[in-house]
Amino acid sequence: MTTVPSPAQLGGRSLERVVYAEEEIRRRVEALAREITEAYGPEDELLVVGLLKGSFIFLADLVRRIELPLKVDFLVAASYGAGMVSSGEVRLLYDPEARLTGRAVVVVEDIVDSGTTLNRILPLLAARGPKSLELCALLHKRRVRLDPEPRWVGFEAPAEFLVGYGLDHREELRHLPYIASL
């Protein structure tokens, strides 16, 4: 299936190219959900924590394919402001309400770029005593090494500015059903 960008969604911007089409994303998300389903059991009390806002579409598609009992919660961290380059500063705007202690926690992130967000967030979550703490990132640019690295990665992302499927440019273009470079 070819993804044809709808000019009406782009608000006058032009895309460089579609990097991951809808169908390719769907297949990859299904595979990730299968692997997560196989990695845990009902006794793990799986808690899936989505990092907002970027992960909202990926998270919604992923959890609907995980065949286990689970809870969903969110964490809001913002690092980029309005620019296209990371400011290196991460602000926590919302903290998960759900208990993390004793549960298997999977943090869902749309993209790992400079690693700043995760380096800051993961220690905070680890301090709450989860049974396990893993990371599932749809995209990883491999600019940095993370400790720990995500257990699940959807795609090795190119060093381009990516938008769509949750990823924004100045808070817009998150609603594109595919991932494109700007």
Q: Name the site residues for ligand PRP (rule: CB under 6 A).
A: 51-54, 78-80, 86, 109-117, 168
Residue among 52 and 98 whose Cβ is closer to ligand PRP:
52
Nearest in space to 43 (alpha carbons), one of 18, 66, 68: 68
Q: CA 60, CA 19: separation in Å to the nearest integer?
A: 21
Annotated catalytic residue within 61, 110, 113, 147: 113
Q: Among this protein's residues, is 113 annotated catalytic?
A: yes
Residue among 37 and 87 whose Cβ is closer to ligand PRP:
87
Q: Least Å distance between CB 111 and ligand PRP?
A: 5
Q: Is there a contact between 54 and 168 (Cβ–Cβ < 8 Å)?
A: yes
Residue among 130 and 150 whose Cβ is closer to ligand PRP:
150
Q: Is there a contact between 76 and 125 (Cβ–Cβ < 8 Å)?
A: no
- Own/partner pairs for 154-163, CB < 8 Å, 24+ apart? 154/25, 154/28, 154/29, 154/32, 154/58, 155/20, 155/28, 157/19, 157/111, 158/19, 160/16, 160/19, 161/84, 162/19, 162/111, 163/15
- Longest alpha-carbon distance in the chain: 50
Residue among 18 and 118 whose Cβ is closer to ligand PRP:
118
Q: Least Å distance between CB 29 and ligand PRP?
A: 16
Q: Least Å distance between CB 86 and ligand PRP?
A: 4
Taking CB atoms, the residue at the shortest distance from ligand PRP is 54
Q: Least Å distance between CB 38 and ligand PRP?
A: 26
Which two tokens mark 36?
Answer: 């997560």
Q: Is there a contact between 108 and 49 (Cβ–Cβ < 8 Å)?
A: yes
**Catalytic residue ranges:** 113
